[in-house]
């Protein structure tokens, strides 16, 4: 019963995450068309530091709270669980106001840094400062929202998180698209004004999401069973001890969460300066494509890997605590195999049809397809990074994450400007790849040392998956050449959609047939169905006819 409830909760949250990410991708298409590349660059200037401040202000407390709530509830210490929630709430209210004030005050300095000390390139320091100061208001409630979500997740109730995230995203996207359309198409306004309203939409949706979560809190506290459980505890943990435990558990999660935001932040403060130094007159146009449009595309599969990774921690933690290294090894193999098996062919497909994928979403320009081509391999690297970090958390070696992430971020920081000067936008991508590969490699070393896990077995499996994916890619290149003779994907969105649909189905069938024929799919999914079984069934069907 408990396992069924866990799976149901995980499924609910996974569906919500996919829906939110899908809405986030789909809204980008009309939004980018309305405000242009410089407009999405301006929006990204607000989004990147905003995300970093969210990570800094929550400092891992939501996930740490979730873990401790589950622990105290399992011990039937419901009063300590409730005390911990209240203390976390009060802390986040204070931190939220501090974070909002700090971001508001630092906005002018950040805006000047982004524009390399110039008053304007296309966007101006004033416009960047203005949108940063507007979106900073949302930080008042976002840390508190994350704590409420952590509380409910600790009780294995994923519904409040799922509903609030979907409503928040729907309100945000609806407000952004409607306001942008009205301002630009009907009132003939500027994209700067549209972006100003777009970030206001983020603030409004945050407060709406907060209201939804407060409703669930009130309903939960009014539950009679909750009150009986609360009153049954006579000796709860002291508040100071609860706070200490919370920060001990939360800080590793904070390090884990801030990783991606730091990479994006480094790009935001170095990209324009580096591009201007080599004579690029409008680096904001390229930055908008790279940091907003292409970033949104590749993070759909990455978000699924992150969601999958979060389910690994409890299982690996349990086996590691029981000193069941064979169980830990089995889960590690399963995690890496599944991620690699499903992610690598996506990388290959994206690289083969980079122009078509970008074109159907954002139209034609000289940069989009090429940036997506270079960026695509990071789908795999980010996914492996997420899984390896989750495994390290599962074996309770959180402190090493600080060093592995720090080394990767320092590499990004030291190489980003130089690489962009010599290679343009590809340099920013290569710099991220170098930092992430270093972090993943160091994570592998930590995992191998503490679990005695040998990666030779996985390496052979990875090479085989790479082989099948490349075979699929080569066949798709030939099919691409043939299709270009009959379908001009640039003719219309419909022809492009047909083009991608045909190639995706062919690639999917090819890859899974090869996986089934070689037995790889059966091993990875732990299924008993074989290629021979399917052929026998098809033969029976043929005989009937």
- DSSP codes of every residue in 373-421: HHHTTHHHHHHHHHHHHHHHHHTT-HHHHHHHHHHHHHHHHHHHHHHHH
Task: Report which listed range, 47-56, 301-310, 488-497, is most confident.
Answer: 47-56
Q: Is the dihedral of CA 17, 18, 19, 22 positive or negative?
A: positive
pLDDT greater at residue 48 or residue 438: 438
Tokens representing 401 are: 């994450």
Closest C-alpha to 137, from 62, 196, 81, 89: 196
Highest mean pLDDT among 75-84, 109-118, 119-128, 418-427: 418-427
Least confident span in 127-131, 486-490, 503-507 = 486-490
CA gap 34, 109 in Å, rounded: 29
Closest by CA to 515, choosing from 503, 501, 530, 500, is 530
Query: Which of the 8 DSSP states describes residue 124?
Result: B
Partners of residue 120 on adjacent β-strands: 124
Phi-psi region of 363 (alpha: psi -120 to 50; beta: other; left: phi over 0): left
Q: Is the pLDDT of residue 315 over 70?
A: no
Structure tokens at 197: 């309203």
CB 99 within 8 A of CB 57: yes
Residue with the bigger pLDDT between 227 and 330: it is 330
Whole-number Å distance between alpha carbons of 55 and 47: 12
Q: Comparing 287 with 301, which gets the higher pLDDT?
A: 287
pLDDT per residue as tens digits for the range 431-478: 999 999 999 999 999 988 888 777 777 888 889 899 999 999 999 999
Query: 121 near 283, Cβ under 8 Å?
Result: yes
H-helix or E-strand spanning residue 122: none
- Residue 37 belongs to what H/E stretch? helix 2-58
Between CA 414 and CA 191 the distance in angstroms is: 34
3 state SS of 311: coil
Q: What is the pLDDT of residues 16-38, one digit of tens each?
A: 777 777 787 778 888 888 888 88
pLDDT at residue 3 is higher than 70: no
What pLDDT is recorded for position 544? 41
pLDDT at 9: 53
Q: pLDDT tens across 340-371, in order?
A: 888 899 999 999 999 989 988 888 888 999 99
Task: Kindly report the pTM of this predicted structure.
Answer: 0.81
Nearest to 96 by CA among 66, 61, 67: 61
**pLDDT grade for 105, boundaries at 50, 70 and 90:** very high
Amino acid 269: pLDDT: 92
Asked if residue 246 lies in contact with residue 30, where contact means CB atoms within 8 angstroms, the answer is: no
Q: What per-residue confidence (pLDDT) applies to 311?
A: 59
pLDDT tens digit string along 393-408? 777 787 788 889 999 9
Closest residue by Cα to residue 35 from 179, 243, 216: 179
Let me know: does 156 contact 150? Beta carbons within 8 Å: no
Q: Nearest-CA neighbor of 273 among 135, 428, 105?
A: 428
Nearest-angstrom CA–CA distance, 130 and 389: 36
pLDDT value at residue 2: 46
What would the pLDDT profile of 183-206 be if each residue is shown by its tens digit?
998 888 888 999 999 999 999 999
Confidence of residue 121 (pLDDT cuts 50, 70, 90): confident
H helix runs in 115-190, sequence order: 125-135, 142-154, 159-181
Structural tokens at position 49:
């530091």
The mean of the pLDDT values for the chain is 82
CA-nearest of 25, 367, 54, 343 to 209 is 54
Give the end-to-end CA distance of the chain in Å, rounded to a whole number: 45
Q: Which two tokens stand for residue 163?
A: 């509903």
DSSP 236: P
Place of tokens 């379908």: 487
Q: What's the Cα-to-Cα distance from 91 to each of 119, 149, 154, rounded to whole Å?
A: 38, 15, 18
Q: How many residues does the chain have?
A: 545
Question: For residue range 515-544, what is the model confidence (pLDDT) as tens digits?
Answer: 888 887 777 766 666 555 566 655 544 444
pLDDT digits (tens, 9 = 90+) for 160-174: 888 888 899 899 999
Q: Which residues make beta-bridge pairs with 124?
A: 120
In angstroms, the CA 361 to CA 294 distance is 10
């Amino acid at each position: 019963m408990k396992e069924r409830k866990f799976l149901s909760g995980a499924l609910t949250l996974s569906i919500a995450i996919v829906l939110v990410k899908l809405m986030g991708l789909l809204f980008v298409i009309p939004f980018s068309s309305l405000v242009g590349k410089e407009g999405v660059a301006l929006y990204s200037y607000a989004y990147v530091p905003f995300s970093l401040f969210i990570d800094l202000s929550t400092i891992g407390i939501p996930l740490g709270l979730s873990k401790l709530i589950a622990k105290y509830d399992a011990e039937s210490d419901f009063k300590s669980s409730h005390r911990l929630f209240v203390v976390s709430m009060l802390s986040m209210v204070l931190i939220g106001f501090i974070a909002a004030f700090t971001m508001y005050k630092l906005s002018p300095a950040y805006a000047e840094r982004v524009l390399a000390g110039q008053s304007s390139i296309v966007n101006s320091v004033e416009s960047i400062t203005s949108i940063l100061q507007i979106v900073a208001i949302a930080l008042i409630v976002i840390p508190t929202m994350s704590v409420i979500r952590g509380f409910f997740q600790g009780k294995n109730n994923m519904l409040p998180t799922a509903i609030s995230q979907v409503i928040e995203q729907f309100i945000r996207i609806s407000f952004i698209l409607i306001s942008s359309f009205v301002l630009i198409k009907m009132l003939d306004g500027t994209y700067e004004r549209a972006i100003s309203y777009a970030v206001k939409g983020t603030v409004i949706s945050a407060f709406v999401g907060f209201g939804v979560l407060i409703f669930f809190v009130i309903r939960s506290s009014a539950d009679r069973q909750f009150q009986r459980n609360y009153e049954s505890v006579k000796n709860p943990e002291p508040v100071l001890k609860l706070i200490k435990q919370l920060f001990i558990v939360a800080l590793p999660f904070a390090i884990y969460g801030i990783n991606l935001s730091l990479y994006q932040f480094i790009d935001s403060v170095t990209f324009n300066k580096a591009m201007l130094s080599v004579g690029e007159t409008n680096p904001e146009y390229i930055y908008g494509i790279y940091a907003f449009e292409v970033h949104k595309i590749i993070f759909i599969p990455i978000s699924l890997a992150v969601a999958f990774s979060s389910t690994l921690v409890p299982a690996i933690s349990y086996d590691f605590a029981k000193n069941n290294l064979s169980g830990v090894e089995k889960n590690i193999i399963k995690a890496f195999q599944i991620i690699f098996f499903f992610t690598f062919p996506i990388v290959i497909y994206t690289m083969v049809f980079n122009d078509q994928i970008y074109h159907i979403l954002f139209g034609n320009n000289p940069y989009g397809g090429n940036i997506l081509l270079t960026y695509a391999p990071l789908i795999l690297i980010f996914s492996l990074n997420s899984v390896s970090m989750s495994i390290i958390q599962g074996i309770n070696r959180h402190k090493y994450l600080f060093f592995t992430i720090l080394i990767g971020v320092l590499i990004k920081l030291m190489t980003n400007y130089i690489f962009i000067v010599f290679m343009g936008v590809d340099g920013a991508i290569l710099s991220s790849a170098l930092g992430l590969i270093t972090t993943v490699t160091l994570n592998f070393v930590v995992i191998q040392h503490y679990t005695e896990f040998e990666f030779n077995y996985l390496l052979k499996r990875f090479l085989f998956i790479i082989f099948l994916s490349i075979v699929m890619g080569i066949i798709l290149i030939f099919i691409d050449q043939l299709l270009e003779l009959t379908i001009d994907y640039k003719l219309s969105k419909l022809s492009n959609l047909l083009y991608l649909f045909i190639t995706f189905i062919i690639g999917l069938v090819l890859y899974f047939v090869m996986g089934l024929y070689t037995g790889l799919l059966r091993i990875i999914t732990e299924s008993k169905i074989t290629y021979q079984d399917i052929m026998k069934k098809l033969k029976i069907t043929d005989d009937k006819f």
